[in-house]
Amino acid sequence: MKLIPSRTDKSLARPRPPLFIVSCVLALLAACATAPQPKVPATPSQLYGELFEAVQTQRVFPDSKTFVDAVAKREPAEIVAAYRKERSTPGFDLHAFVKREFDLPVAAGAEYRSDPGENVTQHIDHLWSVLTRDPAVEIEYSSRLPLPQRYVVPGGRFNEMYYWDSYFTMLGLQASGRHDLVRSMCDNFALLIERYGHIPNGNRSYYLSRSQPPFFAAMVELLAAHEGDAAYARYRNALLLEYEFWMDGSERLNAGMPAHRRVVRMPDGSILNRYWDDRATPREESYAEDVATAQASRRPAEEVYRNLRAAAESGWDFSSRWFADGKTLATIRTVDLVPVDLNGLLYSLEQVLARAHADSPARAEEFRARAGDRQAAIHKYLWNSQVAAFTDYSWRENRAGAQVTAAAVAPLFFGIATDEQARGVATAVKGQLLAAHGVLTTTHATGQQWDAPNGWAPLQWMVIEGLRRYHNEPLANEIATRWVKQNLAVYKATGKLVEKYDVVTGGGAAGGGEYPLQDGFGWTNGVLRALLERYPAQ
């Protein structure tokens, strides 16, 4: 793969002789003239306009995601013309019209029934094939983005490849010996980066304006643990492009413009990151919900939409973590915060980029220096001595947040924390977040799915691994034991592994959010399979 110097910082581009620069420019121009340019597909709202708005606002389907995943049976323009002609006729039925003109999606794994004779490890190993999809070919009028290799979907309504879900799914695939799928999914993510300049939330056209927590570097590390350092070289170009996406505009920041897209200039001039979305409209897969939220707020609608979308990029959609009042979705202010977990992920990306440049010591040192600068900024701005834990930081108000969430463990997971800080986080986890059946996401019960009483597999893994990294095995083992027992109890009672769990009551039926509890479920399977390998006595 060709090495592309970062556009986000001129210091990343090593000095070259003029002749070399000229030849590179000529080669680039020639490549641009001959290579097919990536086609950014239209989204459902762009294709269907007023029909899209009618379907979503009139709640034709209980789940707003149904329509954006449907596939038109003929030219979208023809369908819209038919809608305009028929909608004013007596007895017009919008639901019947949509069923006539579109093939509706089927839930992933809907046909699967677990075998009561299987233990949970066998169940997970068999479920991988149920959740595996063959290469996604380009289907006319579908929102699904094509992918060249096989991949695993989460399950239920989530019948596409999701970004951060996939890392935790890969943990289980590795434990199951499915290295082939780990490799093919990494290849898919690299292609998405090279095709669109970033990894979208999922491989759908309506997700292209945002990403998700950037775990691609962690995926490459996971693959390297099996294949060796050649994995770093294989994905170096994709890693660089991923970094450029997250750091876009950093060289233009100053006191007059402290933030741009996903970068924020801190008071001392250091650069940290935030979540963002390039669109300020309702999410197409949650259109009616977002319109209702904006209407409930007294703020400009575009401001609300941007913050809702940015929270969707965070993966924590939604949580009191992002709310100005700590209670109400209408007060969401995601883009005003510098999240501790996001900056831990970008520290990891900088470290992996240094390893990927083992053949270029100067360039490797540049990335190590960037990681060191980020670590110092995390210690300065995201360590909250008042609560003795890492918290998010409000860059507009220039103050640390007071809320302790499960994201506080990210600096332990990525090896950023000092030993003293790690002890403080462990105390906060044990005293505030540890529940009967795992770790709470937050201590606030708002009715949102990323709040109490819910616990999520990816956060349990990060807490457990973060504590183990700082030699707190007793607490890590206790959390793993509680979480695994909860997963196994629900599986024994229902034959299912689900998206999230109530870690307070142990009832298993976690609630909150914009859609019903989903089973399947990719990252729950992955984390549980990996934990059972680590703790076989469970």
Rounded Cα gap, residues 317 and 296, in angstroms:
18
CB atoms within 10 A of CB 538: 15
For residue 29, being part of any structural domain is answered with no
Strands of 401-517 (E only): list them. Answer: 434-435, 438-439, 454-455, 501-502
User: Is 499 a known active-site residue?
Assistant: yes
For the purposes of burial, counting CB atoms within 10 Å of the CB of 471, is it exposed (0-12), middle (13-18) or buried (19 or more)? exposed
pLDDT tens digits, one per residue of 374-402: 999 999 999 999 999 999 999 999 999 99
Instruction: For residue 97, give its domain range.
Output: 44-103
Residue at a domain's end among 335, 356, 372: 335
- The structure tokens listed for 376 are 């110092």
Number of domains in the chain: 3
For residue 303, being part of any structural domain is answered with yes
Same domain, 323 and 423: no
- The structure tokens listed for 162 are 């999701």
Q: What's the distance, Cα to Cα, between the start and end of the chain in Å?
A: 44
- Residue type (1 letter), 56: Q
Rounded Cα gap, residues 239 and 313, in angstroms:
19
Q: How many helices (H) and strands (E) does the chain have?
A: 20, 16
pLDDT tens digits, one per residue of 403-421: 999 999 999 999 999 999 9
Same domain, 409 and 330: no
The one catalytic residue in 248, 341, 499, 519 is 499
Same domain, 533 and 410: yes
- The structure tokens listed for 136 are 């996604």
Residue 187, C-beta contacts closer than 8 angstroms, at least 6 positions apart: 148, 149
Rounded Cα gap, residues 249 and 414, in angstroms:
25
Provide the mean pLDDT of the chain: 92
Residues present in the chain in total? 538
For residue 176, being part of any structural domain is answered with no
Same domain, 520 and 416: yes
Return the SS3 of 500.
coil
What sign has the CA pseudo-torsion 449, 450, 451, 457? positive
How far is the CA of 295 from the CAs of 269, 291, 305, 515, in angstroms?
Answer: 37, 6, 11, 20
The pLDDT assigned to 40 comes to 82
Asked if the bond preceding 116 is cis, omega within 30° of 0, the reply is no
For residue 419, being part of any structural domain is answered with yes
Please give the model's pTM, rounded to 2 decimal places.
Answer: 0.92
pLDDT tens digits, one per residue of 260-303: 999 999 999 999 999 999 999 999 999 999 999 999 999 999 99
pLDDT tens digits, one per residue of 425-448: 999 999 999 999 999 999 999 999
Same domain, 407 and 538: yes
For residue 139, being part of any structural domain is answered with no
pLDDT tens digits, one per residue of 4-51: 333 333 333 333 333 333 333 333 333 333 334 456 899 999 999 999
Tracing tokens 């504590």 back to the chain, one arrives at 467
User: Is 317 a known active-site residue?
Assistant: yes
Same domain, 528 and 417: yes
pLDDT tens digits, one per residue of 175-218: 999 999 999 999 999 999 999 999 999 999 999 999 999 999 99
Rounded Cα gap, residues 61 and 55, in angstroms:
8
Same domain, 533 and 421: yes
Same domain, 417 and 310: no
For residue 478, being part of any structural domain is answered with yes
The pLDDT assigned to 503 comes to 97
Segment 342-367 shows an average pLDDT of 98
Same domain, 308 and 407: no
For residue 120, being part of any structural domain is answered with no
Rounded Cα gap, residues 163 and 464, in angstroms:
21
The pLDDT assigned to 156 comes to 93
The one catalytic residue in 160, 317, 336, 451 is 317
pLDDT tens digits, one per residue of 446-504: 999 999 999 999 999 999 999 999 999 999 999 999 999 999 999 999 999 999 999 99
Which pLDDT band holds residue 126 (cuts at 50, 70, 90)? very high
For residue 5, being part of any structural domain is answered with no
- The structure tokens listed for 506 are 């142990």
Are the C-beta atoms of 400 and 388 separated by less than 8 Å? no
Which pLDDT band holds residue 509 (cuts at 50, 70, 90)? low
